[in-house]
Amino acid sequence: MPFPVALSALTLACVATGLKQRHGAAKSPPEGEDPDRQCKPSPPPPTFTVLTALWPATLILLLTCALGYGALKWGRSGPPAFDCAPADMAERITLFEKMVRAHAVDSTDQLVPAIFDQGLFLRFGFDELEANRSFEEAVGRDPDCAMCWWGLAYANAPNQNKVPGVPGGPFPVFSEADSAQAAGWTSRGLEIAERKLKADPKSEGLGREAAYLRAMGSRFPPSGRWSGHAQLAGEVRFAQMMLALGTRGTGDADALAMAAEALMNLSPWEYHLGVGEKQPDVSWKGIWGDLVRNAQGGLEDDPGAFDVDLSAALPDLTSVRGREVTATAMKRSARLAERLLLRVLEMDPDHVLALHLHIHITEASTPGRGAGGAEMGEASADKLRGIMPRLGHLTHMPSHNFLRMGRYGDGVDANQEAWEMDLRHSSKCVSPYLPEHNNNMLIYCASMAGMLGAAQRQGQAARDALGKLYPPYVVDGMDWAPLVTVWLRFAQWDRLQAMEEPPLDARGWISQGGYKFSVALWRFAHFLLRAADLEMPKIEGGSRAARKLAAKLSDEKVAAERAFLDLKAVVEEIPEDVKTMPGQGVGIYTQAYGALARIMYLQASAKWELLRGNPDVAVSSMAEAVNVSDALGYMEPPREHQPSRQCLGWVLLQAGRPDEAEAVYRRDLWEFPENAWSLLGLAQSLEAQGPDRKEEADAALDRHRAAWRGGQDGVRLTSSCPMLSSRAS
């Protein structure tokens, strides 16, 4: 096919899909388009020998994808002008400086070792796309570099964000075709390594390269025998062989870290036992059966079943240089993975992959201090924060821990730096990894800290990101809703009053139901605006208050009721959430528009029932909203723009049930340590229980004042849920 024709065909494919898929994010096409097709440059086939020419072609194809999708989003005028100057490879190496350490590879090209290190570093940060570019460049410069072929396979192998599966669903998978391609790359590299080793059999470096390639080759099932079961067994084999390699001689930190990563792949995003859950664990939502139980049980319970004695290699550590293992209940495979990561950090305290994975494996455990949970990853978060100034995702990663530790201001700082880094890399035509994730985390952390100014600025920055982030379609749909959620949480009534209806392209990562969710968000705000203008009676006698309120019907109440019914109507139109994998609840790739819209409706119902004088019904509505939220499962940042418990506590106070409100606020403070919103609610609930609790109330209020960062913006918090309060308060 002539090149111009190929470009035209790709353009049409991109217009048809509008899909950007990376192993850490999946963006669906606009509603009504075919979700089963993908627009993504494929890695080179295992048979080519010269790749240098593919680098400019890859850039052209990526830009073509972006422009093709732009025809749908922006019309004939196209996207906003995007001006970037592609970095040559020497400059690209400096973009990702401070890679901490090098992994020696055999090559005749002077630049290839640095390019390989760059690719490995990017893959340690889960940036599969840019890692592929680096490894492709390395192979193009030196097709006889065995480890460069290994790098291509590693960059495209399964990870915690890309599990084995059949393509065509609403989330990225590692498919049979991916396995075959990675196996081909590995085979090519192993042929080269064995040829070199035959010529120089005493070379330790070449021997190690061959061992790395054999381990990678064991990971992928033979042609025609691929299945999810087989790929899972491959992860176990790879972990075995890398563990053997990592414990040989003086040890190999990279090999041990990769063994830990493979073990984490056995239960991605679900490393901890739930309440009442028992060993042995069954990975990937239980679809793998006895193989998983046998394999994972063997890894820890029966070391003799493997070539290396795991018990000798990894004694039952309780600490490594003062770093304790997580005390909360973990799955066997995750427990062994954590022990491996701690061993790596003993060998190399700056190991990027180990620090990254250690944050992930601990973050979903018990939050806060003193429980032996998420705090076990805090040292890794602080360490990564200190050594990672050159890659957006790794700069952002410590905030996963900071949010669980109540360090919301530190989370803001980390994500602000990550966002600025993404903009700098975009100016060099380097596609940043998940800039929308950094954006959302920054806004969430700022909101939790009360930093209205920072949250608003980032919400506006997201709206202004078109033309600043490369390629333009990476920000599609993330630019409208975040700012609205900030205004809602902080009850910025004037800004909400001036807000126009959402644009037709307002949605998040996933298109299904996205626009209707945006409409629901707008109608939710519209209802709260109307309701905030109504006088909130103090509920004392229940039926008496209801009679008084019924007598006070006005045009404003009629308008509020109409707005409430409009919200209810659009919520009912939003499709049911589709479960994705991996992850708890609905999975990490589900935007959960249906659940979030349901939560908004229940919050609006609570407000409406308070206005009608039905406080107990209002409490029931808010309690149901909490249940819907809890069922979503763990996600960072949480999908809700404000934890529903903060509003449930406030509704309980309005209903005259301060003791129950106290319990709700304490539960929220367990999940979000030292958050100023629930500290204020806790103080108010204690004060409402009488003078005997005054000392406790004063202490909680002091903690609130220490945690609240809104003073710098002139924001004073009077309620744990301002959006449900009246405008006068």
Quote the tokens at residue 560. 């509020």
> Could you please report the per-residue DSSP string of 596-613?
HHHHHHHHHHHHHHHHTT
Per-residue pLDDT, averaged over 171-177, amounts to 91
> What integer pLDDT is reported at residue 476 of this predicted model?
57
Per-residue pLDDT, averaged over 226-254, amounts to 90
How far is the CA of 313 from the CAs of 308, 332, 336, in angstroms?
A: 8, 17, 11
- At residue 582, what is the residue type? P
d(CA 487, CA 455): 9
Cα dihedral 244, 247, 253, 257 sign: positive
pLDDT band at 11 (very low <50, low <70, confident <90, very high): very low
pLDDT per position as a tens digit, 635-662: 999 999 999 999 999 999 999 999 999 9
pLDDT higher than threshold 60 for residue 10: no
Strand (E) or helix (H) holding 696: helix 694-707
Per-residue pLDDT, averaged over 330-344, amounts to 90
Peptide bond connecting 582 to the previous residue in cis, omega within 30 degrees of 0: yes
> What integer pLDDT is reported at residue 467 of this predicted model?
77
pLDDT higher than threshold 90 for residue 201: yes
Per-residue pLDDT, averaged over 14-28, amounts to 35
Which position has the higher pLDDT, 367 or 87? Answer: 367
> What integer pLDDT is reported at residue 243 of this predicted model?
92
d(CA 326, CA 375): 8
Nearest to 431 by CA among 4, 167, 31, 63: 63
> Could you please report the per-residue DSSP string of 518-572?
HHHHHHHHHHHHHHHTS--PPPSSTHHHHHHHHHT--HHHHHHHHHHHHHHHHHH
> What integer pLDDT is reported at residue 43 of this predicted model?
37
Q: Which of 123-132, 319-328, 361-370, 626-635 shows the lowest per-residue confidence on average (mean pLDDT)? A: 319-328
Per-residue pLDDT, averaged over 280-300, amounts to 35
Predicted model pTM: 0.84
pLDDT higher than threshold 50 for residue 272: yes
> What integer pLDDT is reported at residue 325 of this predicted model?
60
> What integer pLDDT is reported at residue 611 of this predicted model?
92
Nearest to 599 by CA among 551, 558, 640: 640
pLDDT per position as a tens digit, 419-476: 999 999 999 989 889 898 999 999 999 999 999 999 999 999 988 887 788 876 555 5
Q: Which of 71-75, 230-234, 581-585, 694-698 shows the lowest per-residue confidence on average (mean pLDDT)? A: 71-75
> What integer pLDDT is reported at residue 395 of this predicted model?
95
> What integer pLDDT is reported at residue 122 of this predicted model?
93
Peptide bond connecting 637 to the previous residue in cis, omega within 30 degrees of 0: yes
Ramachandran bin of 509, using left for φ above 0, alpha for ψ from -120 to 50, beta for the remaining angles: alpha
Which position has the higher pLDDT, 285 or 564? Answer: 564
Domains of the chain from N-terminus onward = 42-49+82-424 (no CATH), 487-505+518-724 (1.25.40.10)
> What integer pLDDT is reported at residue 543 of this predicted model?
63
**Neighbouring C-beta atoms of residue 211, cutoff 10 Å:** 18
Which position has the higher pLDDT, 646 or 583? Answer: 646
- Residue by residue, what is the 3-state secondary structure of 189-230? HHHHHHHHHHHCCCCHHHHHHHHHHHHHHHHCCCCCCCCHHH
> What integer pLDDT is reported at residue 320 of this predicted model?
38
pLDDT band at 16 (very low <50, low <70, confident <90, very high): very low
pLDDT higher than threshold 60 for residue 393: yes
Instruction: Give yes or no for a contact between 101 and 351, defined as CB atoms under 8 angstroms apart.
Output: yes
Average pLDDT of the chain to the nearest whole number: 81
Per-residue pLDDT, averaged over 101-109, amounts to 88
pLDDT higher than threshold 50 for residue 495: yes
> What integer pLDDT is reported at residue 250 of this predicted model?
85
Residue with tokens 């690209």: 92
pLDDT per position as a tens digit, 586-606: 898 888 999 999 999 999 999
pLDDT higher than threshold 80 for residue 97: no
> What integer pLDDT is reported at residue 535 of this predicted model?
63
> What integer pLDDT is reported at residue 707 of this predicted model?
98
- Highest mean pLDDT, choosing among 238-252, 267-281, 328-342, 681-695: 681-695
pLDDT per position as a tens digit, 130-171: 999 999 999 999 999 999 999 999 999 999 999 998 888 888
pLDDT higher than threshold 50 for residue 550: yes
Q: What percent of the chain shows pLDDT beyond 70?
A: 75
Q: What is the CA radius of gyration of the chain?
A: 27
pLDDT band at 371 (very low <50, low <70, confident <90, very high): confident
> What integer pLDDT is reported at residue 509 of this predicted model?
57
> What integer pLDDT is reported at residue 230 of this predicted model?
87
pLDDT per position as a tens digit, 558-568: 889 999 999 99
Exposure of 505 in the CB half-sphere (CA atoms within 13 A): 16
Per-residue pLDDT, averaged over 231-248, amounts to 91
> What integer pLDDT is reported at residue 56 of this predicted model?
40
Nearest to 485 by CA among 505, 506, 464, 511: 506
Q: Angle 38-44-47 (CA atoms, 0-180°, nearest 5)?
A: 135
